[in-house]
Chains A and B, each alone.
Chain A
Amino acid sequence: MITCRRAAVLISEELDYDLSLHLRAGLAFHVLVCMSCRRYRRQLGVMDEAVEEYFASARAVNPGETMPPSSKEQLKAIIVYQLDAES
């Protein structure tokens, strides 16, 4: 039987891609008899959905955040300089 350490890796991997039948069976059997990994799997599933939602929503961005004025001025100057150089 696979160890909990190995099961934890597979529990993460199954969130990213389909495991082979062999690995799926190994994991399925492990969680059947191991309550800790069963919990970990369920909690990681909850977490994964929440993380996905976090990044999909605007929560990852602080709406009050603005680019520092000095940085803006500098960037504007560079752009204007480039435009002048072209014309």
Chain B
Amino acid sequence: MDSSITTPRLDPAMWVDLHGDHLYRFALARVCDQETAQELVQQALLAALTARHLFRGHSSERTWLTAILKRKVADSLRTAVRRRVRQELDLDKAMGSRFTRNGKWKQKPGEWSSDDPGQELNRAEFRKTLDGCLSKLPTRLRQVFVLKYMDEEAVDDIRKTTGVTATNLAVMLHRARLRLWQCLTVNWFGEEPMTPSEGGK
């Protein structure tokens, strides 16, 4: 009680009411699984509770809590990715390749109806397609994107902290991109599947 004069005030009893939804959305956007998101918010708030004497008031209560949650989310994703690297590599072999035995495209990339991102209308349309494709992406592949893009994790950093080799990570990102690209290609063309002529034989 005496320390409250020098220590910035935190009100843990109000955390859930004040920041619960915000933190939940933060976690959910990254892990895409409601149960895991709830679990992570709980872990973060309990960690914050234990560490609240370390709060110096340099940032707002919410920013401080979010930073703690961010670390919990990153830990969780790293563990998940580490576990899945081998699985993913095996799965790829089983799924077959988009390339022939000679390493050529089985189906050649077609022209996207708009490669020009400068056109605002096409851009908005493209974003919509991307949103749809990202949400349909299998969790394990989405997680790789989240790690790379969402919190500006440098790829090197992921590699160090996950203990996966550079080669494996490159393969994971490559597969995730190829998969997303495939989805965009199919949906960017609309309902029409790619015709052989567009494949550029």
A residues at B contact (CB < 8 Å): 3-6, 8-9, 12-13, 15-17, 35-37, 39-40, 42-44, 46-56, 59-63, 65-68, 71-72, 75-76, 78-80, 82-83
- Alpha-carbon separation in the docked complex, A4 to B100 (Å): 9
Given A46-B115, A76-B16, are A3 and B130 also a contact pair (CB < 8 Å)? no
Query: Taking CB as reference atom, which chain B residue is nearest A74?
Result: B42
Asked whether, in the complex, the Cβ of A83 is within 8 Å of the Cβ of B13, the reply is yes
Q: Given A60, A66, A78, which contacts B21 in the complex, CB threshold below 8 Å?
A: A66
Q: Mark B167-189, 1 if CB is under 8 A from A, else 0.
A: 00011011001101100110000
Given A44-B177, A60-B150, are A5 and B155 also a contact pair (CB < 8 Å)? no
Asked whether, in the complex, the Cβ of A36 is within 8 Å of the Cβ of B174, the reply is no
> Using a Cβ cutoff of 8 Å, how many contacts connect chains A and B?
144
B residues near A68, Cβ cutoff 8 Å:
34, 38
Asked whether, in the complex, the Cβ of A61 is within 8 Å of the Cβ of B25, the reply is yes
Given A66-B21, A68-B38, are A47 and B111 also a contact pair (CB < 8 Å)? no
Asked whether, in the complex, the Cβ of B21 is within 8 Å of the Cβ of A67, the reply is yes
B residues near A42, Cβ cutoff 8 Å:
115
Asked whether, in the complex, the Cβ of A67 is within 8 Å of the Cβ of B41, the reply is yes
Asked whether, in the complex, the Cβ of A59 is within 8 Å of the Cβ of B131, the reply is yes
Q: Given A3, A51, A60, A63, which contacts B102 in the complex, CB threshold below 8 Å?
A: A3
- Alpha-carbon separation in the docked complex, A40 to B115 (Å): 11
Asked whether, in the complex, the Cβ of B174 is within 8 Å of the Cβ of A54, the reply is no
- Alpha-carbon separation in the docked complex, A83 to B1 (Å): 13
